[in-house]
Amino acid sequence: MIDAQLGSQVGALLRHTAATVVLPSYQHLQDSEISEKGPGDLVTVADRRSEEALTAGLSDLLPGSVVVGEEAYAADKSVLARIGGPAPTWIVDPIDGTANYAAGSGPFCLMVALVDAQGLAAAWIYDPIDDLMGYAVAGGGAFLGDVRVEPVAPLPADRLRGVAAATYYPANLRARVEGGGDRLGEVTNGQRCAGREYLDLLAGRQQFAMSWRTWPWDHAPGALLVREAGGVVRRLDGAEYVVAADPGEGLLAAIDDQTWRTVAGALVP
């Protein structure tokens, strides 16, 4: 299903949407163009326009496919049921890191994953500020720009750096993170942009990222990128992450199995 031409076309679509829809409004949004979908959950006119452009473009690139977008879900919760259906499914985050984008800061990313009958088939994460594209095809490796990301040797615990943003953690997990972080090199609160966290895992800037909320548009693209780079993405109980209509809760991505086990031992109750 995924060939070099389709992979290149999706990357070009992300770049075009960023250049024509997302960046022109960056740092130029009016108050009336920013609203809340829920408490603290922002959406902008650029999110909606970006998703419209990506949905149309992806549907044209792969006839017969369906799209599950973050903003479409906000309007109609039933769209999640498309995941796991018979049609190839595009999962779209039109602007990941909307709170940063709305504040006129960064990072923020545009993200797409393709799911077929075998699971995650391909993924793209694009940071338009740094003009950095992460791309992966199942079984074909992960790339940052044109450079293939190779597996790296595990680091000792006291040199591991990563994110455990505790905003949505339940009390027991929050307490464990607060108490176990001193067993690792550095545990940060993150950048409010899942896509950038995954790109930084591939770039070697950090070695793990732990989340509680696991919406598919936030994690499906990054999960394939990390796996194709030799890493692992699992639920906090150790089960492998699977993209599903039920998003579940709790996820830990790491650059390799040993790192996953070390971090889970320090931070997971």
Coil, helix or strand at residue 199 = helix
Q: Are 127 and 182 contained in the same domain? A: no
What does the block give as tokens for 126? 């694009």
Same domain, 137 and 183: no
Same domain assignment for residues 103 and 207: no
> Is 116 part of any known ligand binding site?
no
Q: Report the 10 Å Cβ neighbour count for 72.
A: 21
> Is 237 a known ligand-binding residue?
no
pLDDT tens-place values along the chain, 269 residues long:
688 899 999 999 999 999 999 999 999 999 999 999 988 899 999 999 999 999 999 999 999 999 999 999 999 999 999 999 999 999 999 999 999 999 999 999 999 999 999 999 999 999 999 999 999 999 999 999 999 999 999 999 999 999 998 888 999 999 999 888 889 999 999 999 999 999 999 999 999 999 999 999 999 999 999 999 999 999 999 999 999 999 999 999 999 999 999 999 999 99
Are residues 191 and 251 both part of a single domain?
yes
Domain finish residue from 148, 175, 198:
148
197 is in an annotated binding site: no
Is 146 within any annotated ligand binding site? no
Residue 56: its pLDDT value, please?
Answer: 98
Q: Which one-letter DSSP state was computed for residue 229?
A: T
Single-letter residue type at 10: V
Whether residue 51 sits in one domain with residue 184: no
In whole angstroms, what is the distance from residue 177 CA to residue 25 CA? 37
Choosing from 80, 114, 148, the residue where a domain stops is: 148
Site of tokens 């109750």: 269
pLDDT of amino acid 5: 92
Residue 93 annotated as binding? yes
Q: Which domain holds residue 27?
A: 4-148
User: Looking at the structure, do residues 142 and 193 belong to the same domain, yes or no?
Assistant: no
Residues 144 and 233 in one domain: no
Per the CB < 8 A criterion, the answer to whether 216 and 243 are in contact is yes
Give the H/E segment covering residue 210: strand 208-213
Q: Which of 121, 148, 175 is the last residue of a domain?
A: 148
Q: What is the pLDDT of residue 190?
A: 95
Number of domains in the chain: 2
Could you tell me if 127 and 200 lie in one domain?
Answer: no
> Cα separation of 203 and 214, whole Å?
22
Cα distance between residue 66 and residue 56, in whole Å: 10
Q: What is the pLDDT of residue 34?
A: 97
Dist CA 206 CA 209 (whole Å): 8
**Rounded distance, CA 221 to CA 48, Å?**
19
For position 63, what pLDDT does the model report? 96
CA separation (Å) from 50 to 47, 72, 174, 191? 5, 12, 34, 21
Is pTM, for the whole model, over 0.95? yes
For residues 62 and 105, give the distance between their C-alpha atoms in angstroms, rounded to a whole number: 34
